[in-house]
Copies of this chain bind each other. A is one copy, B any other.
């Protein structure tokens, strides 16, 4: 496995869904940075299961204990380790999946890769629960970036065809990033209503639903990044695919460029108050791997939660026969509300690695 990432700020994520603890080591944080643990707790709570209609009933305080790297509430230069204890585990829920791999999960590939010794309880290290340490690391980076004037936000831009109001790639402001409505991050109240209803409907029938998350960044300075393998797109995408349910990432106009002419897609330059700027931002704030100074915009495709109550065909590993699987346990009918802060967190980890 390689659950480590980063060049200057290196993170190392550990833990399984049902191990004693999960956590993260962050190596390379600059020293002297104050860490506001209340704010971190507030950020973590956005990812934590809420028990609401669209979330799992599993309850975890999910608050990390920082055991190193801080001194008098500031980073001291030493690696910061944050630990989250796994308390509310019900391993018995997962006994069946030892023999019957769940469709849409990594149960079978885990066996192919790690053999019979893989920790199958709750998906082990493949569990979405491992996004909690990512949020710890990201939540800390968000605080550092904000002090440099960099602000990150995300929203559910579409859920099974229900579209939210997209970010304006040219005029995006910090206020836009912070003004969502509803219980989960959606910009349009009517879109939120429809999404919430769809999720409730899915839950009622034991199904789940996927969607698209759009992430925006303002205040990130131009001239950061490199062409070829070390650009913003390379490292953002490499990190984002650590989020279990992701199946696609696009920057700026993204896949829509496939239907565009050069004369439409090119971002023309103009002078504005003595500064060079772009009239459009189809590039999503990145050209040649390097930030342009415009807002950074990207979207990720999040697949529907694979754990559904509806019966599905699978195989019995012991009997080598087809069989049906009815997944029990507590699962999210839609992971997107909780995935939004995870996307922000991963974005922050990568941008901090570039900037600090």
Query: Which chain A residues have a beta carbon within 8 Å of chain B's beta carbons?
Result: 1-5, 7, 10, 12-16, 19-23, 25, 27-28, 31-32, 65, 67-72, 74-81, 83, 101, 103-106, 108-110, 112-119, 121, 124-126, 130, 158-161, 202, 207-212, 222-231, 233-235, 237-239, 241-242, 244, 246-271, 274, 276, 279, 282-284, 287-293, 301-308, 310, 312-315, 317, 320-322
Contacts and interface: CB of A to CB of B under 8 A. Distances in A.
A27 B2 contact: yes
A104 B281 CA distance: 10
A265 to B, nearest CB: 5
Contacts of A15: 67-68, 78-79, 81
A22 B68 CA distance: 7
A119 B12 contact: no
B117 A77 contact: yes
Contacts of A20: 65, 67-68
Contacts of A239: 229, 234
Nearest to A284: B247
Residue of A103, A115, A270, A320 with highest tally of chain B CB at under 10 A: A103
A125 B228 contact: yes
Contacts of A260: 160, 209-210, 303-304
Residue of A209, A227, A246 with highest tally of chain B CB at under 10 A: A227
B1 A28 contact: yes
B14 A125 contact: no
Nearest to A21: B67
Contact of A226 (B1, B14, B161, B222): B1
Contact of A248 (B207, B229, B254, B279): B254
A290 to B, nearest CB: 4
A4 B76 contact: no
6 contacts: A1-B226, A15-B67, A15-B79, A112-B223, A247-B257, A257-B304
